[in-house]
C-alpha cells in the first residue's frame, strides 16, 4: 500500500518538477509582457532534442547541455524581439495566436532538421534504483528534483535579493512607473524571455532520460505547464512551483489509482474544475476590472 | 444586408456554380468540397471569435462530437444518419450550454485555457473509448441517405455542400446586421459599456457559443459522411488551431474573410504536401506574420486599403 503510494508520489513529484519549471517560464513571460507564451512547451522539447543532437555529434555532455540551454534562451529572445515587440498593442487573442504560430515554426523546423524519431538520453549518474520503503527511486529523479530545487532557490534569490530581479518585478507591476524611475524595460523583456527559454530547456533536459523526447514532445508538457501556472494563479512564482507539483502529483495518483489511459486528461479536468470554482486559480488574487 | 455584401454573395454563388465545370478532375472537386466545409465551420467560429471577441481553442471537439455521433450511432445502434446528426448537434449544443456559463465567467487567457482543456478532454475520449470509436485507428461511417436518396458521387456532394455554404453566408450576413449581431459587436467593444446600455452580455455570449458549437457539430457529421471515415484527429488541438488560423488570417468579424481564410488555408497544405514537414513551418509563419502585420486579417485590411485608394 505505502510502497505503491510512494511510487506514485515519486513519479508525480518528478514530472511535477518539470511542469513547475515550465510554469515558471509562463509566469516570467506573463509578468514581463502579459503574454501567455504557447511556445513555452517547445523550449522543453528543444532542451531535450538539442542535447541528444549535440551528444550524437560528439560534444561532451557539459558542453551539449550548455548549448541546449543557451539556444532555447536565444530563441526566446528572438521571439520577443521579432514577434511580440512589433505587436505590442495587439489584443490577447492576437498575442496568443502569435505564440502558437511560433510554436508551430519551432516544432516544424526541428521535425525537418532532426526527423520524427523518438530519442532518449543516458541517465546522468547511472540507473541503479534506490529502494525507499519498498518503492524504487531512480537516480535521475533525484537529479530532476535537485536541479529544480536549485533553480527555484536561485530564482528566489534573484528576484528578492538583487536589484536586477527587483527591477523585473517592478516592471511587471507597472511598466510606466518602472521606466520613470530609470528601469530599462526592454532589458527586462530580454531577461524574462531568455530565462523562460532556459528554464524550459533545463526541464526538458532533466526529464528526457525518464520520458523520452521527440519533435512533438513539447505540446503536452507545455500545455500542462500552462495548467500548472493557472492553478497557481497566473503571475505568481510560488504559485507556479506549487501548481506544477500539485498537477504532477494529481496526475500520477489518478493514473495509478484510476485509469492510466486518461492520465493526460487529468490536468485538464483539474483546471476546468478549478477555473469554474476559483476563476483566478488557487493562489490568485481577487478580480477587479478598471474601465 | 449592405449592397457590397449582396454583391459579394452573388459573386460567391456565381463562382460556386461555375466551379464544377472548370475543375479538371475529381481531386480538385474534393479540395473544393473540403474548402466549403471548412468555410461553413469558420463562419460559425468567426461569430464567436471575431464578432463576440471570445477565443475558443477547443472548437474541433464539437466537430468531433458531430462526426462520432454520425459514425457510432448508425454503426452500433442502427440509427438513421439524419437522426444521428441531430443527436450529435443536440449533445454539442447541450454541452456548450452547460459549460458556457462557467467558461465565460473567464476572460482572455483563462478562457483560452478552459476551451483548450475542453477540446483536449473530448479528443482523449474519442481516442480512448476504443470499443465505440475504434480508437486511434478510427471508424468507418455509413453513407448519408437523405429522404430516400443516397449521396454517392462527388458531384452530388459538391452541390449539397455548396448550397449549405450559400445558405450559411446568407444567414450570417443577416445575423450580423440584426440586433443580435450588433449586441455581439458591442460586447466585443466593451462589456461594461454594453451592459450599461442594457445588453445582457451573458445571454449573448452563451447564445453565440451554443450556435457556433451547433454549426461545428453539424459540419463534423457532414465531414464524417463525406469522407466515410473518422479518426480522433478531427477533434485534436491542432485542428482547433487550424480553424482559429482560418478565422484570423481571413479576418476577424469578416464574413467574406472567413471564406478567404478557409479557402487559403485548406488549399495551402495540399500545395505544400510535397514538402513533408514544411507545412507546419509555413502554417506557423503565416499565423505570426498575419497577426504582426495585419492584425485585422486579410480581407478587412485589404478592403480598408482599397477604400482609401492606395
Closest Cβ–Cβ partner in A87, A112, A230 for B291: A87
A83/B288 touch (CB, cutoff 8 Å), yes or no: yes
Residue whose grid cell is 466537430: B63
Q: Is the ipTM of this complex over 0.85?
A: no
CB contact A261 to B (< 8 Å)? yes
Q: Closest residue of A to B246, CA-based? A: A97
Closest Cβ–Cβ partner in B110, B244, B277 for A97: B244
Tell me the three cell numbers of residue B157.
456532394
Mean pLDDT of A113-134: 85
CB contact B267 to A (< 8 Å)? no
The answer to whether A230 and A281 are in contact (CB under 8 A) is: yes
Q: Closest residue of A to B275, CA-based? A: A112
**Sign (positive/negative) of CA torsion B301, B303, B307, B310?**
positive
Q: What digits encode the pLDDT tens for the residues A193-249?
A: 999 999 999 999 999 998 889 988 888 899 999 999 988 888 888 889 999 999 999
Tell me, what DSSP letter sits at residue B228?
A: S
Cβ neighbours of residue A69 closer than 8 Å, sequence gap 6 or more = A47, A198, A201, A202, A205
CB contact B112 to A (< 8 Å)? yes
- The reply to whether the predicted model has a pTM over 0.90 is no
Reply yes or no on whether the pLDDT at B301 is more than 80.
yes
B49/A93 touch (CB, cutoff 8 Å), yes or no: yes
The answer to whether A265 and B124 are in contact (CB under 8 A) is: yes
pLDDT of residue A280: 67
Helix, strand or coil for residue A132?
strand
The answer to whether A25 and A37 are in contact (CB under 8 A) is: yes
Alpha carbons B89 and B66: distance in angstroms, whole number: 6
Alpha carbons B41 and B37: distance in angstroms, whole number: 7
CA distances (Å), origin B88, targets A85, A130, B167, B214, B221: 43, 52, 21, 9, 8
Cβ neighbours of residue B234 closer than 8 Å, sequence gap 6 or more = B60, B63, B64, B67, B220, B223, B224
- To the nearest whole Å, the CA of B90 is away from the closest chain A CA by 22
Residue whose grid cell is 472548370: B22
Q: What digits encode the pLDDT tens for the residues B127-181?
A: 988 888 888 888 888 887 766 677 778 888 899 999 999 999 999 998 888 888 8
Planar angle of CA A182, A240, B123, nearest 5 degrees: 125
Residue whose grid cell is 509563419: B285
B120/A265 touch (CB, cutoff 8 Å), yes or no: yes
Cα end-to-end distance, chain A, whole Å: 55
Chosen from A81, A104, A107 to mutate, greatest number of chain B CBs within 10 A = A104
Alpha carbons A187 and B221: distance in angstroms, whole number: 51
Mean pLDDT of B111-129: 89
CA distances (Å), origin A230, targets A15, A170, A269: 17, 21, 13
pLDDT of residue B309: 67
Reply yes or no on whether the pLDDT at B2 is more than 70.
yes
Q: Find the helix or strand (DSSP H, E) in which A243 lies.
A: helix A237-257
Alpha carbons A75 and A54: distance in angstroms, whole number: 17
Alpha carbons A125 and B135: distance in angstroms, whole number: 39
Q: Cα torsion for A85, A90, A95, A97, to the nearest 10°?
A: -120
Q: What digits encode the pLDDT tens for the residues B122-131?
A: 999 999 888 8
Q: What digits encode the pLDDT tens for the residues B224-240?
A: 999 989 999 999 888 99
In order of their start, the domains of chain B are: 3-308 (1.10.3470)
Mean pLDDT of A147-173: 90
A230/B53 touch (CB, cutoff 8 Å), yes or no: no
Mean per-residue pLDDT of chain B: 87
CATH architecture assigned to A2-277: Orthogonal Bundle (1.10)
Name residue A119's beta-bridge partners: A213
Split at pLDDT 50, 70, 90, the class of A289 is very low
- To the nearest whole Å, the CA of A238 is away from the closest chain B CA by 19
Higher pLDDT, residue B280 or A252: A252
Split at pLDDT 50, 70, 90, the class of A290 is very low
Amino acid at each position: 500500500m505505502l510502497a505503491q503510494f510512494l511510487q506514485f508520489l515519486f513519479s508525480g513529484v518528478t514530472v511535477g518538477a518539470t511542469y513547475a519549471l515550465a510554469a515558471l517560464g509562463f509566469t516570467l513571460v506573463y509578468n514581463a509582457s502579459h503574454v501567455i507564451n504557447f511556445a513555452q512547451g517547445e523550449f522543453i522539447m528543444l532542451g531535450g532534442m538539442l542535447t541528444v543532437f549535440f551528444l550524437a555529434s560528439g560534444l561532451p555532455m557539459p558542453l551539449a547541455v550548455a548549448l541546449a540551454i543557451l539556444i532555447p534562451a536565444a530563441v526566446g529572445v528572438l521571439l520577443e524581439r521579432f514577434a511580440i515587440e512589433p505587436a505590442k498593442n495587439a489584443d490577447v487573442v492576437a498575442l496568443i495566436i502569435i505564440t502558437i504560430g511560433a510554436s508551430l515554426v519551432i516544432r516544424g523546423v526541428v521535425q525537418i532538421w532532426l526527423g520524427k524519431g523518438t530519442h532518449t538520453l543516458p541517465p546522468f549518474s547511472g540507473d541503479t534504483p534506490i529502494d525507499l520503503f519498498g518503492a524504487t527511486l531512480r537516480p535521475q529523479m533525484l537529479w530532476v528534483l535537485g536541479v529544480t530545487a536549485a533553480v527555484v532557490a536561485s530564482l528566489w534569490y534573484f528576484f528578492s535579493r538583487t536589484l536586477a530581479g527587483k527591477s523585473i518585478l517592478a516592471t511587471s507591476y507597472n511598466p510606466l512607473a518602472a521606466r520613470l524611475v530609470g528601469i530599462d524595460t526592454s532589458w527586462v523583456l530580454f531577461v524574462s524571455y531568455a530565462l523562460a527559454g532556459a528554464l524550459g530547456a533545463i526541464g526538458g533536459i532533466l526529464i528526457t532520460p525518464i520520458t523520452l523526447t521527440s519533435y512533438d514532445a513539447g505540446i503536452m508538457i507545455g500545455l500542462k505547464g500552462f495548467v500548472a501556472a493557472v492553478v497557481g494563479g497566473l503571475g505568481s512564482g510560488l504559485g507556479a512551483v506549487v501548481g506544477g507539483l500539485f498537477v504532477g502529483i494529481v496526475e500520477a495518483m489518478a493514473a495509478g489509482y484510476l485509469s492510466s489511459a486518461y492520465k493526460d486528461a487529468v490536468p485538464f479536468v483539474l483546471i476546468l474544475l478549478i477555473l469554474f470554482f476559483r476563476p483566478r486559480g488557487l493562489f490568485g488574487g481577487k478580480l477587479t476590472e478598471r474601465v | 444586408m449592405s449592397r457590397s455584401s449582396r454583391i459579394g454573395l452573388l459573386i460567391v454563388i456565381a463562382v460556386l456554380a461555375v466551379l464544377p465545370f472548370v475543375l479538371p478532375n475529381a481531386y480538385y472537386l474534393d479540395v473544393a468540397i473540403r474548402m466549403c466545409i471548412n468555410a461553413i465551420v469558420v463562419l460559425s467560429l468567426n461569430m464567436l471569435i471575431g464578432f463576440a471577441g471570445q477565443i475558443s481553442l477547443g472548437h474541433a471537439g464539437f466537430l468531433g462530437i458531430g462526426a462520432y455521433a454520425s459514425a457510432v450511432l448508425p454503426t452500433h445502434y442502427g440509427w438513421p444518419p439524419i437522426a444521428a446528426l441531430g443527436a450529435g448537434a443536440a449533445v454539442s449544443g447541450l454541452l456548450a450550454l452547460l459549460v458556457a456559463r462557467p467558461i465565460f465567467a473567464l476572460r482572455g487567457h483563462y478562457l483560452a485555457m478552459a476551451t483548450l482543456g475542453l477540446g483536449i478532454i473530448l479528443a482523449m475520449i474519442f481516442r480512448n473509448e476504443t470499443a465505440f470509436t475504434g480508437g486511434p485507428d478510427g471508424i468507418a461511417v455509413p453513407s448519408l441517405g437523405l429522404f430516400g436518396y443516397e449521396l454517392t458521387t462527388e458531384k452530388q456532394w459538391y452541390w449539397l455542400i455548396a448550397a449549405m455554404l450559400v445558405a450559411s453566408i446568407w444567414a450570417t450576413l443577416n445575423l450580423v446586421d440584426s440586433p443580435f449581431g450588433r449586441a455581439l459587436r458591442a460586447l466585443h467593444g466593451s462589456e461594461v459599456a454594453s451592459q450599461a446600455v442594457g445588453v445582457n452580455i451573458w445571454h449573448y455570449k452563451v447564445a453565440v457559443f451554443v450556435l457556433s458549437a451547433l454549426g461545428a457539430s453539424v459540419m463534423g457529421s457532414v465531414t464524417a459522411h463525406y469522407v466515410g471515415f473518422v479518426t480522433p484527429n478531427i477533434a485534436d488541438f491542432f485542428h482547433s488551431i487550424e480553424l482559429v488560423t482560418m478565422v484570423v488570417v481571413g479576418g476577424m468579424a469578416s464574413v467574406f474573410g472567413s471564406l478567404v481564410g478557409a479557402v487559403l488555408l485548406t488549399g495551402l497544405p495540399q500545395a505544400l504536401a510535397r514538402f513533408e514537414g514544411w507545412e507546419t513551418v509555413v502554417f506557423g509563419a503565416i499565423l505570426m506574420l498575419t497577426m504582426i502585420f495585419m492584425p485585422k486579417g486579410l480581407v478587412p485590411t485589404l478592403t480598408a486599403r482599397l477604400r482609401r485608394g492606395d
